[in-house]
Chains A and B, each alone.
Chain A
Amino acid sequence: MTQLVYLVPLFPLIGFLINGIFWRKMPKTAGGVIGTLTILASFIVSLGIFFEVKNSGTATMVHLFDFINSGKLSIPFTFQVDALSSLFLLIITGVGFLIHVYSTSYMHEDEGMVKYFAYLNLFIFSMLLLVLGGNYLIMFIGWEGVGLCSYLLIGFWFKNRDYTNAAKKAFVMNRIGDLGFLVGMLLILYTYGTLSYQDFFGQLKGGQVIVSTSTYNWIAICLFIGAMGKSAQIPLYTWLPDAMAGPTPVSALIHAATMVTAGIYMIARSSALYNLAPMAQTLITWIGLATAIVAATIAMKQYDIKKVLAYSTVSQLGFMFLALGVGAYTTAVFHVMTHAFFKALLFLGAGSVIHAMGGEQDLRLMGGLGKKMRITQITFLIGCLAISGIPGFSGFFSKDEILAMAYAHDPILYYLGVFAAMMTAFYMFRLYFLAFTGIFRGTHDQEHHLHESPWAITIPLIILAILSVVGGYVGLPAVISEHHALASYLAPVVANTGEHHMLAGTEWMLMGISVSVSVLMIIVAYVRNKKPAFAPNTGVAKFLENKWYVDELYDAVIVRPIGAISRLLDRFAERAGIDGIVNGVGKLVGWGGDRVRLLQSGQVGFYIFVMVLGIIALFTLGFFWIR
């Protein structure tokens, strides 16, 4: 089965090609069915692979063809099938499939539905390439592919200027990160002469190439800059909230199953490297924590339902990086998985709400939707409980593990983490109460149209809700069970260093603290939003509503100065300097051509004369120059 792994990305590629080539002519339904079935096929193959890897526990390299063979450099096109990649395969194709099903209904009114599915398939294909690649270059191909697809999908409704700007922003931010990734990759190649994971980690372990710790740190930090862009960490996070411009299922896909998890995957994959780079780890820890807190504060004051969720994603990603930073790679992957379930659920739920509201996204105009949309309400509530870390739901297990790991590393990390988790519970339930309880605040017309969404939307919601509950039981806390299923599954691939050997009492206490503050915040959120009043924000609240003015800051400090410098260079260096040189060379070539052309007189005698001159010249050269 593992030898058939090429099928997994092949199916979405075929789907992309069919939909992409015939998108003008194909009926919408056909496009949706093709797009969805290809992902289902991938999912089935992924399931088979997953269980095979689970049983054998070994990593398999599947060599497809030689990609680059040039001198000493040899980069084969190889897929690495092991515990980590097979788990990601399941998340990507599984959640991806549900999102495809959902999209068949959500996008049905749209003119470009077939094109949409083509992009969606390409997105999944790129992501699969990213996680399957057996070396950094293939990962990079997928990495770039994901960036491209996010650009295409965020700007899917390209007639709206703001949306295309959002797409552009996402692309540019990602490019900045990609540059870091590229530099890191070249550093690896330069130092170790290989990009393959096996060779690279083998050399790290064997220590044949003696390098200083600072080299490890540089490589690790460069790669992390790539992860910052893709996984939306400070300072490159601002694109993710703007990425809401795309259709809602796309947001779910970007935020849950693909794209943003790429950075986490990459660092977990490179765990052997990061364990040798303590400075990079510290950097990751603090950036992750800062992101978790900043994004959570912003989310508390947003009124756009998708914006709240977007910032919550940024915040949750911060948690994952916190786990990576303290060396708890398995825990980060665990949170990726549970987050994939409940965040996809929340986004798709939000999509269902927006669908029912006729495109309205402002929380101030919702309220009381629960009465009309019972399934959406219940599933959404499950999502909220899961993300808030209420015991019994998946988010509890993974988030609690992150916090415990952080405590073991340094208690201060734990307290700051709990602070962020507290805000999470608040903003999620603020969103829930504003949208689903109370009285309806929109127009009468909207109220009339409120309805539960069709089955293609509700069924994915229900499945995701179930997963959001049970997904956490693969990793029970140490005090409850000795056996951590996920950790033992990932153990051969991921080199964890973060461990906690703490007393059962301490662990119970930590759990107790985080759960009780979350419950407390839910109550606060209920009290504050029972009868909401929307006075204009002032002071700190206004600061938060405007997202710490980070966009404005970037605009003033980076975008505008660069614009000014560009204009200056354009006027002087470009037009006067470079254009002058280029045009000068062009004119010179033209002038020369005009002269040489005249030699071509059409007279055979003259031609033979030139030939004879040439013969004489070459003989002179051959006889006198060399001898």
Chain B
Amino acid sequence: MKAIIAATISGVILMFAGILVKEKKNAVTLAVILLLALLGVNIYEVVSTPAAAPQAFFNNMLRIDRYAVWFNTLLTGCTLLYVLLIGKEIAKVGSHVAEYFALICFILCGLYILSGYNNMLMLFLGIEIISIPQYILAGSDKKNLKSSEASLKYFLMGAFSTGILLMGITLLYGATGSFYITNFTFLQADSLNVLALAGIILVMIALSFKVSAAPFHMWTPDVYDGAPTAFTAFMATVAKAAAFIAFLRLFQVAFGSLSNSWTLVLSVITAATLFVGNITAVFQQSVKRMLAYSSIAQAGFMLFAVISVNAIAWQGIIIYAVAYSVATIGIFAVLLKLKDYTYDGFNGLAQKEPTLAFVATIFLLSLAGIPLTGGFMAKYYVLSAAMQQGHLMWLVIFALLMAAISVYYYFRVIIAMYFKPGNPELNSPVTQTDKFLLILTCAIVLLIGIFPQLFLSV
């Protein structure tokens, strides 16, 4: 709860700073300080929240437990890492630097609500709080037509999916007479009425849209490609993880006992997501667009945590969200250093900037799920959660095949960096600070891969 307040205040402070702070650099520094404070508040919450008993707020509309605050802490950490690594690039997007950071703080506020909501209204509120700033961030490069197009597309389709979400909530209310997700457990799987089932499927569709699952993913490549790269990195990671925790929470807590009625539908969505994300990524010529498709593919893996109603799924989503976010933020930080976003733009990077090429390799290995990196452990956790369900074996095998395909497009970048001659042009020189931060990010990726327990110790 304190974190929600702190995030809002940070956002407001940053909005005022937009008027008062003239230097772009100072805005970045202020954002870093506020995020550090926010991280501190989150850590305080982890320490102060009792392990067993969730704390209820606003008439029990929020139930924040130890798990939720730990998830918040880790993702706030990711955000801090993101601002440290990419802050300079954010400052180059446009003139309203402080406002961009304010929007990021609001997204964090949405995340804190989504990780602890207990009422469908709060879910709706949280989803909107993370969505609207994203529409703006996507269009923040106002002079760039592609950016504006991305923003408009995202907004139109987002509005459509919000409508579906509201419809679903309405039907569920009609079926149960309640907005409280714990009340849905009174529904019985064998006597599930049409109203409730339709509500569940509609909510599932709306949330699938938010996490860019197929066939509701169509906005993703265009928006991620069109939006300023610095913001794509955030939208594809922390904002997406926020939507995922909401998805997971709803389907585990509220509909967990009804899993027979929706597992098949969701597994079809998962399979489609894996297929579309991986197959299409193969064909891209731009690394940025490839990463957009890869984020769809990774969402397919995260959906495994939603499908599997068990304790490992809760752990899996933490590991996956963190490992995927850190590696993706890292690879975007490398991408932002380059002028040319095509595969050819990476040619010969290993010769020119060995550190950059090395860390990029680790990030890509992690995204591909190679052992010793965080990505491997993440895939291991979510897939073993699905294995525990028993009847999802076909989906796990399919996912492994798709993971094998993903190796192709991730390794294409590594091959370009190490085995092809070329002289890549850099946007800005790689400073010692950059190197230090990138290696730190790299170390986190490896740490997750070797000691995943550290990130689950709550």
Contact = CB atoms under 8 A, between A and B. Distances in A.
B430 interface: no
For the residues of B in contact with A, the DSSP-based class is helix
Interface stretch (A54-62, A365-373, A588-596): A588-596
B265 A593 contact: no
A589 B215 contact: no
B282 interface: yes
Contacts of A573: none
B-side interface size class: 35 or more
Interface stretch (A168-176, A319-327, A345-353, A615-623): A615-623
Contact of B279 (A593, A611, A613, A625): A593
B247 to A, nearest CB: 15
B279 A596 contact: yes
A539 interface: no
B283 A593 contact: yes
A624 B204 CA distance: 17
Nearest to A594: B283
A625 B218 contact: no
Interface in A192-228: none
A610 B215 contact: yes
Contacts of B261: 622, 626
B205 A607 contact: no
Contact of A622 (B197, B209, B453): B197
A507 to B, nearest CB: 56
A600 B222 contact: yes
A608 interface: yes
Given A604-B156, A608-B160, A622 B218 contact: no
B264 A611 contact: no
A604 B223 CA distance: 11
A594 B282 CA distance: 9
B218 A597 contact: no
Nearest to A69: B453
Interface in B53-108: none
Given A618-B205, A623-B197, A626-B261, A590 B283 contact: yes
Nearest to B269: A618
B337 to A, nearest CB: 25
Contacts of A600: 218, 221-222, 280
A23 B163 CA distance: 63
A596 B160 contact: no
B420 interface: no
Interface string B199-211: 0010011000100
B156 A596 contact: no
Contacts of B280: 593, 596-597, 600
B397 interface: no
Given A592-B279, A611-B215, A619 B201 contact: yes
Interface string A65-86: 0100000000000000000000
Contacts of A359: none
A611 B158 CA distance: 12
B198 A619 contact: yes
Interface string A520-544: 0000000000000000000000000
B282 A613 contact: no
A602 interface: yes
A580 interface: no
B153 A615 contact: no
A622 B205 CA distance: 12
Given A596-B276, A622-B262, A625-B264, A607 B197 contact: no
A64 to B, nearest CB: 13
A597 B280 CA distance: 6
A392 interface: no
Nearest to A618: B265
Nearest to A623: B197
B405 interface: yes
B264 A604 contact: no
Interface string B208-234: 010000111011011000000000000
A614 interface: yes
B160 A621 contact: no
B171 to A, nearest CB: 12
A592 B261 CA distance: 32
Interface in A572-592: 586, 589-590, 592
A618 B268 contact: yes
9 contacts: A589-B282, A590-B282, A593-B283, A596-B276, A597-B280, A602-B222, A611-B160, A611-B216, A622-B201
Given A596-B279, A621-B265, A621-B268, 6 more contacts: A592-B279, A593-B281, A596-B276, A604-B156, A611-B215, A622-B265
Interface of B: 153, 156-157, 160, 164, 194, 197-198, 201, 204-205, 209, 214-216, 218-219, 221-222, 260-262, 264-265, 268-269, 276, 279-283, 405, 408, 453
- 10 smallest CB-CB distances across A and B, nearest first, come from A614-B215, A607-B218, A593-B283, A593-B282, A593-B279, A622-B265, A622-B201, A596-B280, A592-B279, A597-B283
